[in-house]
Structure 1
Amino acid sequence: MRGVLRQRLWHFLSFGAPGITVYVCFVLAPIVLSFGYSLTNYNPFNPPTRFVGLRNYRMLFQDSEFLLSLRVTTILTVIVVIVPNVLGLAIALLLDRRGWFYNALRTVFFTPVVLSTVVVSIIWIRLMADDGLINQALRGIGVASPPGWLSDPSYALYSLAIVLSWQMLGFCVVVYLAGLQGVPNELQEAAAIDGAGPLERFRHITWPMLAPALTINTVVMLISAFKVFDHVQVITKGGPGTGTTATVAYNVIQTGFVANRQGYASAMAIVMLVIIATASGIALKILQRREVQL
């Protein structure tokens, strides 16, 4: 008995402990420290630090800037969850062919995913500038006054959503392509013999079997969009105007490292963590239940 326990302890120390240690040090510990800071008025340039309890959290939900950033982040997340999923599925269906040409196209669509966010942002700044390629093309087809994609508050948030959707589109394409590889050809052929058309085969065979791919894409897009910071920092810096494109993550960085209100910024980060965890958990539960039912 002692030998078995000693062997299990050795296995745990050899294989489990390193992973658990990394997880505790780089995930759990920062979360606990952030929660601790969120209960204080911590400001490294304005000591002393005092315990304020839940005051930061009460202030958050009376803070118009935070509530605006929450609205901006929600709109951005909804767009980024829907657009790459819909377009990614359509493109994956078109690329589900064999041949070097289709392999090359898959590489082209996936390339933006591995590009640096800063590089992607700078490219789109040039494209969406008032005298950029997009507006020049619009003027060429007769649009006298093209919109200011990044300078007009009415368009800036949606322009940002386009950039983020474009970069994440390749991820959705690859996941859906992987799902399409798991659809048995025998089912498709049997349905075709029974007289089912392409739309019927997609509805009753292909789409149900893509349920795991939909789950992965939805959850990844949701998390990626809700915590977006770098695109905002490079492209719009939260503008134009006041907070037009300022996301919650952008406000966390600005409050913590520009205004140096790190206690308040920690409260923002904890609220953001709770929202992301809750939304992801609900989405995962609903989509996995659909997988089981199918």
Structure 2
Amino acid sequence: MPPSSRSATPWLFLMPALLLLSLSVLIPAVLALLMSFTRSGLDVSEPLAWVGLSNLRRLWADAVFRRVLGTTVLYLVGVVPPIVVSSLGLAILVNRKLPGIQLLRAAYYTPVLVSIVVAAIAFRWLYAENGLLNGLLATWMGSEPIGFLADPRLALVSVMVVTFWKGIGYYMVIFLAGLQGIPVELYEAAALDGCRGWRVHLHITLPLLRPYVVLVAVISAIAATKVFEEVFLMTQGGPAGSTRTLVYYVYDQAFRELDISYACTVGLALFLLVVLLTLLRFSVAQSSRFL
């Protein structure tokens, strides 16, 4: 086979996937970028009006966007550290050779298999004023019903719990894969030197799992930045806009205000935030090689 044919063969296998990726991701992304410099709505019969940087200037002066961006960052900060620490702790727990440990692993991973729609509706019922959680609080403490989703001070945290519950098992599996790649001899040598308990994980587990910690932190951060289903199904961005995130703001502008061009501009800001997180992941991973 000629060298040119051999070099073209991989591209022939990749062509269907590249075509599908172009139609579903690349081309819509380019069109959304172009539309952010126009003024357009849902009426496709109206011609696009080129407005240049007008949408970007509007975004810069948009107080609602700044509030939504702050809520998104708060969501990220409130979800990522707990989910990284908890999933790592669960991975260390289920990495032990104990009777029935496979069932325990399956139990912790089960929430990942639950549809986010089902999870959001179930937690909405759980948080209701006449729901299970308020019923237990009234029985045990005699307290009045708490508006978990109606109180602006509690609504965002209540939605964060759903994201945490849904994702902890997935990240646990990533850490578990890293733990099972650590040689057992290192722990045996540490035990002979008198290093036991949490000190073993501090001096052996954490340094060797540093790439996995970075990976989980960035993946969970990107997922928290793009959260939508939980907000849409549980709070609709309320109360008083306290749970409105960037992705929900894009939806709000596109399908409620029918301002497609401005929605694309907000989506561009979201894209830049995700790119920033990705670059941060690569820079941290690159620097960790030299530590």
Verify same fold: TM over 0.5. Answer: yes
**Distance in 1, Cα, partners of 2:238 & 2:21:** 36
Structure 1 residue ranges, 4+ long, deviating more than 6 angstroms after superposition: none
What are the superposed Cα offsets for residues 210-258 of structure 1, whole Å, 9 maximum, x if unpaired? 12221221121011111111111100000012x1101110111111122
**2:3 maps to which residue?**
4
User: In the alignment, which residue of structure 2 is the partner of 1:249?
Assistant: 247
Q: Aligned partners of 1:284, 1:119: CA distance in 2, in Å?
A: 34
Counterpart of 1:231 in structure 2 is 230
Counterpart secondary structure, 2:61: coil
CA distance in 2, matches of 1:160, 1:182: 34
Residue 260 (structure 1) aligns with:
258
Match of 1:147, SS state, is coil
1:154 aligns with 2:150: no
Secondary structure in 2 matching 1:61: helix
The alpha-carbon deviation at position 143 of structure 1 amounts to 4.8
Q: Which amino acid aligns with 1:178?
A: A
CA deviation string 1:47-103 (max 9, x = no partner): 342000111111012112211111111111112211111111111111112355211
**Aligned Cα root-mean-square deviation (Å):** 1.8
Verify the 8 A CA contact 2:214 2:284 in the aligned structure 1: no
Q: Do the aligned partners of 1:222 and 1:280 also contact (CA within 8 Å) in 2?
A: no
In 2 relative to 1, CA 100–61 (structure 1 residues): closer, same or farther, beyond 3 Å? Answer: farther
Aligned length: 290
- Structure 2: how far apart are the matches of 1:12 and 1:91? 41
Instruction: Select which of 25, 32, 35 maps to 2:33.
Output: 35
Q: What is the correspondence of 1:78-97 to structure 2 with a 5 Å cutoff? A: 78-97=77-96
**Could you tell me which residue of structure 2 aligns to residue 17 of structure 1?**
15
Task: Give the deviation of 1:285 after TM superposition.
Answer: 1.7
Structure 1, unpaired ranges of 5+: none
**Structure 2 residue 290 is matched with structure 1 residue 293:** yes
CA distance in 2, matches of 1:204, 1:218: 20
Structure 1's 157 and 30: CA in aligned 2 closer, same or farther, altered over 3 A? same
CA distance in 2, matches of 1:143, 1:61: 48
The separation in 1 between residues aligned to 2:145 and 2:73, in whole angstroms, is 27
Amino acid at match of 1:286: V
Deviation (angstroms), 1:26: 2.3
Instruction: Report the TM-score, using the length of structure 2 for normalisation.
Output: 0.94
Q: Give the direction of change, closer, same or farther, for the CA distance of 1:224–1:101 in structure 2 (3 Å limit).
A: same
Distance in structure 1 (CA, Å) of the matches to 2:10 and 2:102: 43
Structure 2 CA distance for partners of 1:120 and 1:201, relative to 1, 3 Å: same
CA distance in 2, matches of 1:287, 1:137: 45
- CA change 1:54–1:96 in 2 (3 A) is same
Query: Structure 2: which 5+ residue stretches go unaligned?
Result: none
1:34 is paired with a residue whose SS is helix
Q: Using the TM superposition, name which of 138-147 and 115-124 deviates more.
A: 138-147
Q: Which deviates more from structure 2 when the two are superposed, residues 22-31 or residues 49-58?
A: 22-31
- State how far apart, in whole Å, the 2-side matches of 1:237 and 1:227 are: 15
TM-score by length of 1: 0.93
Give me the identity figure in percent. 33
